[in-house]
């Protein structure tokens, strides 16, 4: 049974903001020339981009008062198994061939995220896949990036132990001793 998770976008925006603060503090502690600065700064910019998407979803951006839709406060996503991942890609390929449009990586990304959306405030209760695909395609790219990252996290097996980033940090601290 695929894992699913419901996300409260207000909580996610707060957590994102906190992660940006933590990352900024880490970067400020690095010595000039540290190779991790650029990597951490890229991650910070990615978080900032996703934060803007979350704020747009919540109607808390500059144009939020003028928007004629309810805030998007919740989304439920499911992991992609190998089968759902491949079926989404095959469906994208078939649909684009039928429409005579190029089938590229970005189209497949769109289909995969739409496949993972189980429920969301931007969907009707009885939305089928095609309606979900259209709704996802109309989201801001910044929110789409956030959704895609959550789908990737859900689809990635959890393994105990140090991740690669921690290993790099440990190796760097060993060299400085």
Better-scored residue on pLDDT, 42 or 177: 42
Q: Give the phi and the psi of residue 4 in degrees, each rounded to 5.
A: -125, 155
Burial class (CB in 10 A: 0-12, 13-18, 19+), 112: buried
pTM to 2 decimal places? 0.84
Give 88's pLDDT tier (boundaries 50, 70, 90).
very high
pLDDT number for residue 173: 76
Can you tell me whether residue 8 is helix, strand or coil?
strand
Better-scored residue on pLDDT, 64 or 33: 33
Give 162's pLDDT tier (boundaries 50, 70, 90).
low
CA distance 97 to 127: 24
pLDDT of 165 above 80: no
Helices (H) and strands (E) in the chain, counts: 7, 3
């Amino acid at each position: 049974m695929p894992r699913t998770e419901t996300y409260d976008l207000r909580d996610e925006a707060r957590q994102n903001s906190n992660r940006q603060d933590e990352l900024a503090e880490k970067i400020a502690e690095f010595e000039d020339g540290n190779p991790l600065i650029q990597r951490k700064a890229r991650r910070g910019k990615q978080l900032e981009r996703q934060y803007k998407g979350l704020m747009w979803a919540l109607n808390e951006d500059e144009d939020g008062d003028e928007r004629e839709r309810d805030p998007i406060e919740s989304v439920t996503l499911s992991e992609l198994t190998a089968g759902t991942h491949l079926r989404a890609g095959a469906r994208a390929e078939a649909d684009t061939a039928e429409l005579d449009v190029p089938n590229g990586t970005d189209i497949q990304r769109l289909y995969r995220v739409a496949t993972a959306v189980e429920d969301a405030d931007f969907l009707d209760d009885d939305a089928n896949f095609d309606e979900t695909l259209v709704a996802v395609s109309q989201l801001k790219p910044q929110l789409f990036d956030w959704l895609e990252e959550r789908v990737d996290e859900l689809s990635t097996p959890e393994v105990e132990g140090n991740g690669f980033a921690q290993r790099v940090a440990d190796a760097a601290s060993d060299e400085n001793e």
